[in-house]
Structures are given as structure tokens and as C-alpha cells.
Structure 1
Amino acid sequence: MDTALNRRKFMGKAALAGVGLSLAPQAISFASSRPKNGKRVGIIGLDTSHSLAFTKAFNAADAAADLGGYKVVAAYPHGSRDIASSVNRIPGYTEEIQPLGVEIVDSIAALLDKVDVVLLETNDGRLHLEQALEVFKAGKTVFIDKPISASLVDAIAIFAAAKKYDVPVFSSSSLRYMENAIAVRNGKVGKVMGADAFSPATLEPTHPDLFWYGIHGVETLYTLMGTGCETVQRTFTPGADVVVGTWDGGRIGTFRGTRSGKSGYGGRAFGEEGIMDMGSYGGYRPLLVEIAKFFDSGIAPVSAEETIEIFAFMQAADESKKINGQAVSLQAVLDKGRREAAQISI
């Protein structure tokens, strides 16, 4: 409980710092006018600090132009049902978000009648497929916060449903948008021959080990390495999980997930033209800019294929754990996930 509490305090502070907001309650003013149609944002899930942080950024009276003029106008609070650390946040966040100009509604259907685009923020990835289907059927573009689901199978089904209903969707951790990670992705050190990434990987019994929080560091690793991982091996060392992926051409990417919420986030890329450390985490703002661009264009900045492979990597890590760290084929995990996802009615 102490670890979870410290993590929530840290992320809450990081959220406010990342969007450039003061902690002083009188320091922020919010636009009172309603946004024009096309710019109205709805939030599903008030069980995460992201919901408040994102709303404070979008709804600030002096919101930056690169946030696209989008304003959060309505929210459906639920939200996790049985994860105590999330459920217990809902009443407080519901109270805090209303003065920001947000109407609270009693169903996703009611929300969808009032908004143009959606932030699916529910902290519990097990609910995302069910909730996303309502959004897809209404034809609303949606960003799904991490984790996109609590299983590889559901992740595949979500993207299949988005394709079926022809609705733009993407999902990402904000760690993808660390300044140096983007520089590496854009070729700063040439072709990446290997990379290391790390993040907290605290556990939640309802989610596979890395899906709950380790996804932050895994997303960092994939930002650096790209797709193409072939095999995954996982070992446990005191206080941490270490996952080693072998990519095409024998390139090696590693993820270290620490059990302490105090470890921070980061990594290092080894390229043909240099080595680059990731530096410090820069907060949520770069992700929000990408979300605004996505709402404008309907073009996802992260492909479905990459997000699905991230979840296959984490699933393969779990499989490797079960067989004492032996290598697991990522393609075999993907093939099995696709077969099972095909059985889900969407």
C-alpha cells in the first residue's frame, strides 16, 4: 500500500509538472465558454490521475494552441469496479473535475451524445474492450490510455473492432514521448542496434505482471527498437524483473522492471552512429499534443501492429516466466492470441 500511495503521489506531481501547471489552487483559470462542435472531449473513467491532469491541460483558459482547442465537457466516472486503489479515487476525482467545466453523466451512452471525441481513461484494462465497443459503435474517435487491455487477446480484439466500425483509435504510454526517445526514433543515432529501458513494474493481481505498470518501460523499449522482436526471455533478480528480447538481425533489447515505485524511468539506445541516454521523464504534455493531432487528423501516431507487438512481448515474458526463463517465440504468442481474439464477438 505504501508503494502504491507513493506512486500515486509521484505521478500526480509529475502530471501537474508535465502540463506546466502550478500546484497552487488559484494559479489556474479555466475557460468557461463551451467549445464548438468537433472539439468536445468526453472522458470515460475518473479512477486515474490522468483524467484530472489531462482535463486541466485541455481546459485551461490559456491552453496552448498545439492542444487544438479541445475541451473536456463531460465525464462518466466508472471506472474500475474492484481495484481498490482505483475505485477509491472516483468520488474525489468526480468532485474535483466538475469545477473545470465538466458535466458528470451516468452512462457511456449519455456521454457519447454530448461529445465528439473520447479519452478512455478507465484504469482497469479488463474493461476497455467492453467500453471501447460502445464508443466504436457510436463512431467516435478514441484514445485509450495504457494499458489498452489486460490481455493480448483483448488488445487484438479492440483493434479488430476499430477496423470493423471504421473508427480511429490509438493507445500509448506518455513515456514514448520522452524527448530523447523521439530523437532516437527519428534517427539521431542511426540504426538502433540495441537498447535498455527501465521503469517501475509494480503489480496488480488482476493484470498480468508487466501489463499494469511495466508497460511504461516496455513502451520506451519499443520506441527505441521498433517492431520485429523474435524471442523473449524473462528472469527475476532481487527487486526486479529483467526481460531480454532478441530482434531481427540479432539486435538485443532489454527491459528492467523494478518493484519499487521510486526507481524512475529511462533507458539507453545503442546506435550505429552513437549512444544516447533517455534523460528524465518530461510529463504528459507531449502525449497530449499527439492526442490533439490525432483527434484532428484521425491518423494514429502509433500503429496497431506496434501496440499489439508490445502486448505480445509482455505476454511472452509471462510465458517465459512459467518455463523458468526459457526463450519464447513472439510469433507463436501472436498467432495464439489472434486465434483466441477471432472467437470474440465484436
Structure 2
Amino acid sequence: MKSSRRSFIKKTTALGAAASLSSLPFSLLGNIQSDPIKIGIIGLDTSHAPAFTKLFNAENPKPELAGFRVVAAYPYGSRDIKSSMDRIPGYIDQVKEQGVEIVDSIEALLQKVDVVLLETNDGKPHLEQARAVFKAKKPVFIDKPVAASFADALKIYQEAEAAGVPMFSCSSLRYQKNVHAVRHENKIGEVLACDAFSPATLEPSHPDLFWYGIHGVEILFTAMGAGCESVTRFSTPDAEVVVGTWKDGRIGTFRGMRSGKHDYGGTAFGTDGNLFFGPFEGYEPLVVQIAEFFRTKKSPIDPIETLEIYAFMEAADESKRRGGEMVMLREIFQFNS
């Protein structure tokens, strides 16, 4: 994150196809410090918070997670999403059982920790919360959704870079075994196409796909990579279908299921065969990536790709508003730059 803010904005407007701010190879074991890296959590309104704490604070953690300790948490994220608020008391009890101190402000938290997990389930306050973390110069992982609008997501990445603070954000589905293998292990050769799916339940305070559709869209982009140029959306009584066209002519689709019980997955099609994704395999693969990020201060994901995910979802909303017309992702970038 050493390029200027001006150059970063220029790259995001152009979709940043040729540049990567943060894609460097990493070692899962890294250099474990004798003193643990102290982790603070903002937001105890999601199951991710106690789940991540349990992995980091285990009596005998995996080698990749050794050298860390969640030491403090500020419970409040959403104050207007009842399904999130109602979970806070129970999650407070769970993390306290893991030896975590509960504090009464983000400022108090930041004085006690080296790095931050921003776990607030509600994306609306993420920009304000992230600004406090950036001011304190603490590396931060921001859980999905990175924000409740593309405009706020772009501001978060721009302000992190301007402050010189390492950050990244993603869905845990990015690091499921087969999803990761298609992208990073050449499992099926060159990826020709991908069809991804996930639940896509709604939260009125967030754009349509940002709440749960993000999981399936992240699967799609993990397989396909950045470079989507246009989006067309179709609605059925039980699903939202979004078709993306990549600059090299490849087609990727996301199907967001509205009703019934559905898993997370998809199929990637490559020059050397096909590979099915799913089912959900838990949070540990993501937490291992977070640990490596906290050690190296290097994001495993190019910010351009993450921003393109949110532009894809916002373009899908715009396509629906226009009755299924094709929407170019550059419209989303240009409008918000």
C-alpha cells in the first residue's frame, strides 16, 4: 500500500486490471513471536466472533494459529438489526469464557491490542469503525460485507491506503478447499467459466446481495478472478440469477436462492475438467489466512478484486431496477469515484 491515493483512485476507476497492490506469496507458518500478537474484536453480533476466538485462543492451536491471543472485545456493531442485536449477550458470555475482556468503547479496545477483527455484522457502521482503527494504525480484517454500499467500500480501501494501514476483507467461502484450489493450485487448468450459488436472504438495510449473496459472489470471483465488465440480472420467484461477462469473453453466473434451505457452492469449468464447490467447510481456512495477514501485514487479496465484487453486486441491483438491462461495471466505479 505504498502508491499514492491518487493512483489508487485511478486504478479503481479503470478496474485495475494490470496492477496488484497486495498479492504476494505467503508462508502459512511465518515467524511466530515469543509474545503473542494481541487481537481485539469489534462487534459481537455474529457467530464469527466466538468461532474465531475459539480457534485463536485454543489451548493447543494449530501451528498456523500459534502466537495469537484474542484479548479484548467491544460488543456493539448493529443497534438496529434485531437479529444481530439479540445475539450479543450470548456471544459476550462465550468470548468471556475464552478469557476475553469486554470493553466499553472502540477507543478502549484499540489501546489494548495490536491488530483488529472488525466483525460487526452490519455493514453500515463499518466506515466509521474502520476510521478509528486506521487512526490507531492497527492492521484490520473487516468481515463481510466490507460495507453496506459500494461507495463506502471504496472509501474504506482508499482511506486504509492513505493511512498506510494494512487491511483486507472477504467471505469465508473464498478459502473452502476446492474453491481455493481452482484459483491457486491449477486444479482444472485454465478456468473457462463458473456457476456459483448461495442463500441470498434479505436485510432491508443493505443492498440486495450484500447481506448473504456475497458468499456466492465471492465464490464466483475466487474462481474467475477480476475482470468482469458487465452484469445482467434475472429474477424468478425463488432465485436471483446474475450473469457476468468478463473482458476475455468468459461467462460467470451467480444464483442467489431466496427460499428453502440451500448450501454454498458451485461448479467451475476448466480446460482440464470440472470441479464442484461445497459444502461449507467451516471458518478455520479463513482464520489461517487472517493469521498470516496479521504476521506479514500483506493482504492475500488484491483490493481491486474485492471492490469489483461489490461493484458486481451493485450493478446487479441496477440491472434489476432497469428491468434486466445490461449494466457495465465501469458505471459503478465512475459514479463513485
**TM-score, normalising length: structure 1:** 0.86
In 2, the alpha carbon distance for the partners of 1:111 and 1:41 equals: 9
Any idea what the Cα deviations from partners look like across 1:107-151, whole Å, max 9, x if unmatched? 000000000000000001001000000001100000000000000
1:217 aligns with 2:216: yes
Identify the residue that residue 262 of structure 2 maps to in structure 1.
263
In 1, the alpha carbon distance for the partners of 2:122 and 2:150 equals: 14
CA RMSD of aligned residues (A): 1.2
Higher mean alpha-carbon deviation, 257-266 vs 143-152, is at 257-266
Pairing 1:292-331 to 2, within 5 Å after superposition: 292-331=291-330
Q: Which structure shows the bigger proportion of residues in helix conformation?
A: 1
Kindly provide the amino acid, as one letter, of the partner of residue 182 in structure 2.
V
1:182 aligns with 2:183: no
Contact 1:37 1:116 in 2 (8 A): no
Q: State the 1:92 CA deviation.
A: 1.7
Contact 1:313 1:330 in 2 (8 A): yes
Pairing 1:91-110 to 2, within 5 Å after superposition: 91-110=89-108
In 1, the alpha carbon distance for the partners of 2:88 and 2:248 equals: 47
Match of 1:72 among 70, 73, 94: 70
Kindly provide the amino acid, as one letter, of the partner of residue 97 in structure 1.
V
Contact 2:34 2:67 in 1 (8 A): no
Kindly provide the amino acid, as one letter, of the partner of residue 299 in structure 1.
K
Contact 1:79 1:90 in 2 (8 A): no
In 1, the alpha carbon distance for the partners of 2:287 and 2:279 equals: 18
In 1, the alpha carbon distance for the partners of 2:263 and 2:332 equals: 30
Unpaired runs of at least 5, structure 2 = 1-32
In 1, the alpha carbon distance for the partners of 2:36 and 2:69 equals: 10
1:161 aligns with 2:159: yes
Match of 1:144 among 139, 142, 145: 142
Kindly provide the amino acid, as one letter, of the partner of residue 65 in structure 2.
L
Any idea what the Cα deviations from partners look like across 1:206-254, whole Å, max 9, x if unmatched? 0000000100000000000000001100111121100000001210000
Contact 2:137 2:163 in 1 (8 A): yes
Q: Report percent identity of matched pairs.
A: 61
Q: State the 1:38 CA deviation.
A: 5.5
In 1, the alpha carbon distance for the partners of 2:333 and 2:305 equals: 12
Kindly provide the amino acid, as one letter, of the partner of residue 247 in structure 1.
W
Identify the residue that residue 24 of structure 2 maps to in structure 1.
none
Number of residues of Structure 1 aligned to a counterpart in Structure 2: 304
Specify which structure has the bigger relative contact order, considering alpha-carbon pairs within 8 angstroms and separated by 6 or more residues: 2
Moved over 4 A (4+): 35-38
In 2, the alpha carbon distance for the partners of 1:99 and 1:238 equals: 44
In 1, the alpha carbon distance for the partners of 2:336 and 2:252 equals: 23
In 2, the alpha carbon distance for the partners of 1:37 and 1:329 equals: 49
Pairing 1:185-196 to 2, within 5 Å after superposition: 185-186=183-184, 187-196=186-195
Q: State the 1:37 CA deviation.
A: 5.0
Identify the residue that residue 249 of structure 1 maps to in structure 2.
248
